[in-house]
Amino acid sequence: MHVIIAGNSESDGQEAVRKIKEETLTGKVEFLYCDLASMKSIRQFVQQFRAKNCPLHVLVNNAGVMLVPERKTEDGFEEHFGLNYLGHFLLTNLLLDTLKRSGTHRHNARIITVSSATHYVGKLHLNDLQSRCSYSPHGAYAQSKLALVLFTYRLQHLLTANGSHVTANVVDPGVVNTELYKHVFWVVKVVKWMTAWLFFKTPEEGASTTIYAAVSPEVEGAGGCYLYNEERTKSADVAYDEELQRMLWTESCRMVGISDEANRLL
């Protein structure tokens, strides 16, 4: 595959490119800057990508912040909701046409969105998606992860209705030992440091289900699935609420300034 790494750190991105080239002896990997906390940056990234005239067979939505203090993105969105969810929502919608052109009957293009088991305790507050009334880092993070599951199911519904050769699935990577935990309470950090080898997955292990969703023949043509440990499993009951999916989609389109995909697809 020709891999494009999109990220908000030029140095980290170029280091990842260097390591991949070193390990695989291939030049088919590159870095493009994209800050998912910025609607402007996302649109600029999409323009750069389109200029390459590349097909897009797999889109992995994997960026995120966790348990950050209350703060806003440059567009004024609460950071968990703005970066974890709205950034991926806009990016995916802007790349949908390319994905639909790239997929075929035999080989569907695939959209993989990384959520979390935290979505099981998440509550979607449609009247307060920005958590303005009462901010809780845990609540805001869980809401953003639930929104990603609702988004995936609604997207798959629209793709199926349109007859597109594109599938959308959502992945739970498990508890992975990464820098995401830098904002947790210091006691939790100490416990994590002491027990990570026993209870936490390595980044490589955490990526396995995402890779499975991206390339495995077993999920060819299958969409609207919640995947954990490379198996289909059940997400939170509320995530299957089709009316909630539809309302979140419509509100998300309004927030990021695009037309409702339901109207464009159907």
Report the candidate in 177, 157, 178, 165 with the shortest Cα–Cα distance to residue 266. Answer: 157
Least confident of 76-80, 135-139, 228-232, 259-263: 259-263
pLDDT at residue 159, rounded to an integer:
96
* Residues involved in catalysis: 141
Which is it for strands 58-61 and 109-114: parallel, antiparallel or unpaired? parallel
Residue 29 in domain: no
Backbone region of residue 99 per phi and psi (left: phi > 0; alpha: psi in -120 to 50; beta: other values):
alpha
Q: 186 φ, ψ to 5°?
A: -60, -35
| Number of compact structural domains in the chain | 1
Q: In b/e form, how buried is each residue of 93-120, taking b as 16+ CB within 10 angstroms?
A: bbbbebbbebbeeeebbbbbbbbbebbb
Residue 59 in domain: yes
Token pair, residue 64, equals: 């995120």
Token pair, residue 215, equals: 């390339």
pLDDT band at residue 113 using 50, 70 and 90 as cut-offs: very high
Q: For residues 255 and 252, what is the distance between their CA atoms, to the nearest angstrom?
A: 5
pLDDT band at residue 201 using 50, 70 and 90 as cut-offs: low
Residue 30 in domain: no
pLDDT at residue 73, rounded to an integer:
96
Q: What pTM did the predictor assign? A: 0.88
User: Which residues pair with residue 228 across a beta bridge?
Assistant: 172, 231
Residue 49 in domain: no
Residue 31 in domain: no
Residue 46 in domain: no
> What share of the chain in percent tops pLDDT 90?
73
Q: What is the CATH number of the domain that holds 176?
A: 3.40.50.720
Token pair, residue 154, equals: 């609604």
Q: What range defines the domain where residue 62 resides?
A: 55-263
Q: In b/e form, how buried is each residue of 213-246, taking b as 16+ CB within 10 angstroms?
A: bbeeeebeebbbbbbbeeeeeebbebbeeeebbb
pLDDT at residue 176, rounded to an integer:
45
pLDDT at residue 64, rounded to an integer:
85
Residue 5 in domain: no
Residue 159 in domain: yes
| 132-148 tens-digit pLDDT | 888 988 899 999 999 99
pLDDT band at residue 129 using 50, 70 and 90 as cut-offs: very high
Q: What is the mean pLDDT of the chain?
A: 88
Token pair, residue 210, equals: 């995402």
User: Which residues pair with residue 59 across a beta bridge?
Assistant: 111
Asked if residue 75 has pLDDT above 60, the reply is: yes
- Residues with Cβ < 8 Å from 19, sequence gap 6 or more? none
DSSP structural state of residue 220: T
Token pair, residue 97, equals: 């046409």
| 148-190 tens-digit pLDDT | 999 999 999 999 999 999 999 999 886 644 554 444 444 443 4
